[in-house]
Structure 1
Amino acid sequence: MNTISPIGMGVSMMDFFVRECRAVVDGPMIIIRLGSCGSLSDAKVGDICVPSSSYLVQRNYDYFADDSSASSASPYILSKKFDADPEVTATLVKNMSAQLGDNHVWKGINATADSFYSSQGRQDENFVDNNQELFNELVKYEPGTLTLEMETFLLYHLARTSTIAPLKEESKVKFAATSNKHSIRAGACMMVFAQRKSNEFISKADVARVEPLAGKAVFDSLVEISLGDESELHATEGSVWAL
């Protein structure tokens, strides 16, 4: 059973989406984000990036406080990485390549920012952001950083911290005996809308061309990956999927 759901922008919206879906769905889940991003690498506008891991770029609010002792800290805090599900990632790369060609599909590391502006390195003379060197800091921190956007880190983080609690009672013992202790498996793919190094932006024609191909690759991946025993899944009867 597959569902398409727009969630809005940012880590807070991803938090709402994952937690509230988990609250109303029984059994294991696979969540794949399909969205947009900026490229900090050689990935061009219209290319698809599939992040194998993601870290958070967060504005260090204390740095900007009226306290001189804070000025010795960094204006931006970079978290540790959280990984995508390996099977989901590999399947996405394969199916995206089938739709778009190997030359237009990239696998690497994603950076998720807590702001569209300051923590994505956008310059705004109306505010003190101290982000002029942010891109260089990100690539130095994680040389494999491909993309910058606003949602993927929290998806991967919540998948990693999900528990077996939502499973049906009769499935808990069997599920607990497996190596997978998390009820959510996650992956992501994103279309490059902005080449941040060259300041090139995607055309409407390219969005219209790539979006349905990427969407098909996501659905093909969801169909291809097994969630396990059908008895462990959310019952179709009485659910929205029965409508």
Structure 2
Amino acid sequence: MAGELNGKVAVVTGAASGIGLASADALLSAGARVVLVDRDEAAVKSRCGERGDRAIPLVTDLLDPKACAALVPRALELAGQIDVFHANAGLYVGGDLVDADTDAIDRMLNLNVNVVMKNVHDVLPHMIERQTGDIVVTSSLAAHFPTPWEPVYASSKWAINCFVQTVRRQVFKHGIRVGSVSPGPVISALLADWPEEKLKEAKASGSLMEASEVAATILFMLTRPRGVTIRDVVLMPTQFDL
């Protein structure tokens, strides 16, 4: 799909690693300029340095309300426009609810739900003015299945699933497409917090995906004709037992 996004600008949050970095790479390969947003300054600047001038670093801690509110204006200053916004940054809390740290719950819900809603809220006026744009949210297979080993994380993704479906209905009249990608287990830093027995089981059975496979799906969504919206994609390893 080389060149299909020539002249476009994408913003990807949580872009220094995992699905975010794979998404940025896919967008760059399709010709877009990409603003890589991450709180890890050394990592995001290193990633951009390796990828050339079309990869633009933006160091932001999205859990800081002022920094979060400044994200879209700063991205517009750096790149001039936003055609694609990929809300990808997220945290994970797994295990039994009774064992969960309540501060960790607050941080995860803030980033997985509140920050996504605020980022989309902030980018919409720009897209509405231009009467075009694409918003993609990284959700999870957990948004579609009441995963017993991750009730807090799954609940955050169920909320985002509803958010995507309702906002899409509000903004399609402005030429804006809104969709989500819901992967099963992906090899990423988030899996470090998986229950050890579930991680061992997934590794042993080959029930894990690469982040690049999720990114390829996102690129497919973004390169459909403007009259077509891919609203929800659920993808999982073929060997995943669900």
Normalized per residue, which structure has more strand? 1
Larger relative contact order (Cα-Cα within 8 Å, sequence gap ≥ 6): 1
Give TM-score, length-normalised by structure 1. 0.34
Normalized per residue, which structure has more helix? 2
Give TM-score, length-normalised by structure 2. 0.34
Between Structure 1 and Structure 2, whose CA radius of gyration is higher? 1
